[in-house]
Structure 1
Amino acid sequence: MVSVLGALDADLVQRILNSPPFHSVDGVINFRDLGSSSGAITPGILFRSGELTRLSQRGKDELKALGVATVFDLRSQSEITKYSSATPEIDGVRFVHVPVSDKDEYDPMALAARVTRFETDEKEAFATLYSNILESGARAYETILKHIRDKPGEACLVHCTAGKDRTGMFAAIVQLLLGATDDAVIQDYYLTTFGLQPALPHLVARFQREALYQKNKAGFEIMASAKKETMHASLEMIRTKYGGAEAYIKQCTTLTDADIAQIRKNLAADPVAKY
């Protein structure tokens, strides 16, 4: 991971992090507005990020200034406990725990344990991982989508540990549902490459006591990557396995055509967009 950290020009990283869709929320990594990313979603309604564990008072104020009223946490409880990474309370903000899985299978250490799959066929391994996340995370994603359906105009934040895999698949489904182009979805995913840069030293410090990290540092680099071709393969997987984002929602959740229409109405940047 250290080589990943050093691979990007520091000035370039800073320019990107200081520009939309990124927002500065002190103590939070990879925080950005999905509306500014895709062009299909109204800005200021749906945000994504990494964990809020290190959120400062200034960060709390910045989060509230963005209008965020509800925060959805996709991490497992055992993951939160293991890393002592509970989210701090914020007056006026509701926190909803919606784990993609009750197991540890999607926390960073568990992902790294499967790194041999990535070394032989990285794109296919990520596509398989993301397919599994879509299956196990359907109930969590449904909860968030119902909130969007029922709370028009109310800003919410969706996060996991790094804001890359579990959050990234939710972001992809929502953007596709709202008619975003593949290029827009892929670019949004790729931005995590920059969003994670400030956090890499912290993540290394967290994991370097783990024997798995010592034995397979290269695996952590793969785990931290957010390559465009990875999301391209994942979009192909969504269409091949489900028939698209809308079909995924219909197959894997209880949401109806009317629900989907309301979600689109509440999020759409273009009120007359055709889907």
Structure 2
Amino acid sequence: MSLRHSDAASPLLDIPGVRNLRDAAVGPIRPGLLYRSGSLNELTPEGAQRLKALGVRSVIDLRGANELTHWPDRLHGLDLATRHLPTLPERTSEGQPWPDDQPALYRFMAESSGPSIAATVRHLAAPGGLPTLVHCAVGKDRTGLTIAVLQHLLGAAESDITADFLHSNTGLGLLGGPTPYIDETGAERLSRPVTAELLAEALHRLRTLHGSIESFLDAHGVTAAEIAALRTALTR
């Protein structure tokens, strides 16, 4: 599938200092309740006011503790409830406990992200937290899988979910290929474009292990009542 997004993906929002920010509403998901982005560590005062205008009340940060130490979110006085729900084990200067290879990384995320995604579902299902912004470092991989699982759970079509997932290539300037960056340990790495195959690989692995999205969440303690509350809160 092409790296370009389809019209099903929501447009990128201009929030100064935040990359790759957009509404995650596709299909039956109500707009203005679930946003996705890169981190807020470069959020400007003007960007904070624009974020406030969106009505965001809480932030779910999927990054590791070292990333938070090196690049803390800058909120400029915004009254936001922030939850730290790391998707992956901590990466250190001695190495990382997850694969560099993209397909292997996505399979690994399917195996390791259960506690983080389950806690995200519980947060969204509980009263008072919406609208919520979910982010990792650039809003592409960890955020991409988390949002895709939520979108599947909320009844969005696979084609719309994939289109939204691929929109990160536009949001991060990756349509031309990988770009280098320095990670929180000081190592140079490459930020690579996402593909439809990567998401399909992760969701296939998740279903292979658990049978369905619902069973995956059940295995990590999410109740049917919480899933029902999530659907009531976020779908039309």
| 1:231 corresponds to which of 185, 188, 199 | 199
Which residue in the other structure is 1:80 paired with?
A: 68
Query: Secondary structure, in 3 states, of the residue corresponding to 1:197?
Result: coil
Deviation readout 1:116-172 (Å, 9 max, x if unpaired) = xx3xxxxxx52x422322333222222221121112682000100111111111111
8 Å CA contact 1:40, 1:180 repeated in 2: yes
For residue 23 of structure 2, what is the amino acid of its counterpart? D
Question: Identical aligned pairs, as a percentage?
Answer: 31
1:33 corresponds to: 23
Matched, 1:133 2:84: no
Which residue is equivalent to 2:215? 247
Q: Which amino acid aligns with 1:255?
A: V
Pick from 19, 40, 43 the counterpart of residue 55 of structure 1. 43
- Correspondence for 2:166: 190
Distance in 2 of aligned mates of 1:153 and 1:146: 10
2:32 is the alignment partner of 1:44? yes
- Alpha-carbon distance between aligned partners in 1 of 2:96 and 2:129, rounded to the nearest angstrom: 36
For 1:40 and 1:85, the matched residues in 2 are separated by 34
Per-residue Cα deviation, 1:79-103 (whole angstroms, up to 9, x for no partner): 233xx21111332212221212341
Root-mean-square deviation over aligned CA pairs: 3.0
Query: SS of the counterpart of 2:200?
Result: helix
Aligned: 1:98 with 2:85: yes
CA change 1:256–1:54 in 2 (3 A) is: same
- 1: CA distance, partners of 2:66 / 2:206: 29
Q: Does the aligned pair in 2 maintain the 1:45–1:153 contact within 8 Å?
A: no
Unaligned runs of 5+ in 1: 1-7, 119-124, 214-219, 270-275
The aligned residue for residue 216 of structure 1 is none
SS in structure 1 of the partner of residue 83 of structure 2: strand
Distance of 2:203 and 2:115 partners within structure 1: 20
**Is the CA contact 1:25–1:63 (under 8 Å) kept in the aligned structure 2?**
yes
- The number of residue pairs the alignment matches comes to 226
- TM-score, normalised via structure 2 length: 0.83
Contact 2:136 2:143 (8 Å CA) reproduced: yes
Which of the pair is proportionally richer in helix? Answer: 1
- Tell me the TM-score normalized by structure 1: 0.72
Distance in 2 separating the partners of 1:140 and 1:211 = 25
Residue in 2 that maps onto 1:264: 231
Aligned match of 1:5: none
CA 1:233–1:134 in structure 2 vs 1: closer, same or farther (change >3 Å)? closer
